Amino acid sequence: MAFRAPFRSLATNARQSLKIGMIPADGIGHEVLPGAKAALQALGSSIPKPEFIDLLAGFEHFTKTGTALPEETVEALQKDCDCAMFGAVSSPSRKVAGYSSPIVALRKKMDLYANIRPVSSVSPSPGEQPDVDLVVVRENTECLYVKDEKQTVGPHGKEARATRLITERASRRIGEMAFKIALNRPRKHLTIIHKSNVLSITDGLFRETVRAVPALSGANGQYDSITIAEQLVDSAVYRLFREPHIYDVMVAPNLYGDIISDAAAALVGSLGLVPSVNAGDMFVMGEPVHGSAPDIAGQNVANPLAAIRSAALMLRHLGYGEGASRIERAVDEVIREGRCLTPDLGGRSKTTEVVEEVVKHI
């Protein structure tokens, strides 16, 4: 994955261990997170000895206890863990009284304001896929995901409204993150995704704030080498499918970033390949982009590669670049060889078999 994280580093410290919170949550999260664990354990001396702390969250936990995100999980992440891995969460399309997404809550409680999703094409046969090498930098704490909704009754029946929140602070922070990432990539190109031709106040604030990042005091011209472009979100999706090679780093409000990154995953073969990290200034949590996939849960056919790649991104964020590169190379080699792939990639291998193959390559 062509991605280098310009963030804080734990690797400069003489650490004996790396304490990693493990939150499988729902569905195939229980099947793919062991793959990430196995990859981390296979690194040996490339990283401090990993110590895994099992933690609870998710819709399944909610149905048993009435709580989707236990306070004990949050406290453990804050006090005992250096980083974390999250598996997958079920998101009921219907309203369930008392339930709200634990991953959305975790992002807010841990101030993980950036969701960073690299998407790159690795194909067993050259020419089978379009040339994709981009990073979606998604604001992670606001937009429509503040979940401020209400329903009333008007003259024409039921009326439902949702409040969308865009703040200067959040837009500036995600803008700074995106510029730092673009600065560390060869092309140094940043596209701001918005819809300010319609949402002139909310998207207008996002657009203006991100564009102003290079002029902020303290930037000192460090972003002068970055080319800045803009794209309306609807045309961005169209061009993503027609001309994916034009994009390098894409920065977007929460909802747009969610949609764009899933669309980009279609270009590289499967959601099961696309990793992410939820990053803040003090903590990072790896999370595969895919959902809980209840239709295949428990069948040992889920693709573990996104979770494994997410573990690598987590390491890179923390400063363990050598370990991250070893995992990334191993995953790419397994994909290129094409002998051991799960059904979503046209293969017949089991989840556990793919994990074993990646570990061999590490």
Catalytic residue numbers?
145, 195, 234, 258, 262
Parallel, antiparallel or unpaired: strands 284-286 and 277-279? antiparallel
Q: Please count the helices (runs of H) and the strands (runs of E) in the chain.
A: 11, 12
Give one DSSP letter per residue of 92-147, joined into a string. -SS--TT---HHHHHHHHTT--EEEEEEE---SSTTSS---EEEEEEE-S-EEEEE
314 in Cβ contact with 280 (< 8 Å)? no
Task: Give the integer Cα–Cα distance in Å for 188 and 264.
Answer: 19
Indicate the pairing of strand 143-154 with strand 157-165.
Answer: antiparallel
Spatial contact of 357 and 348, defined as CB atoms under 8 Å apart? no
Is residue 40 a contact partner of residue 22, using CB atoms and an 8 Å limit? no
Counting beta carbons within 10 angstroms of the beta carbon of residue 231, is it exposed (0 to 12), middle (13 to 18) or buried (19 or more)? buried
SS3 state of residue 359: helix
Structure-token match 């062991």, residue found? 34
The secondary structure of 8-20 as a DSSP string is: --STTS--SEEEE
- Edge to edge, the sheet with strand 189-194 lists 49-54, 17-25, 83-88, 284-286, 277-279, 114-120, 133-139, 249-252, 189-194, 227-232
Q: How far apart are CA 328 and CA 1, in angstroms?
A: 7
Q: Nearest 5°: CA angle at 331, between 5 and 312?
A: 30
Angle subtended at Cα 262 by Cα 105 and Cα 228, rounded to the nearest 5 degrees:
95
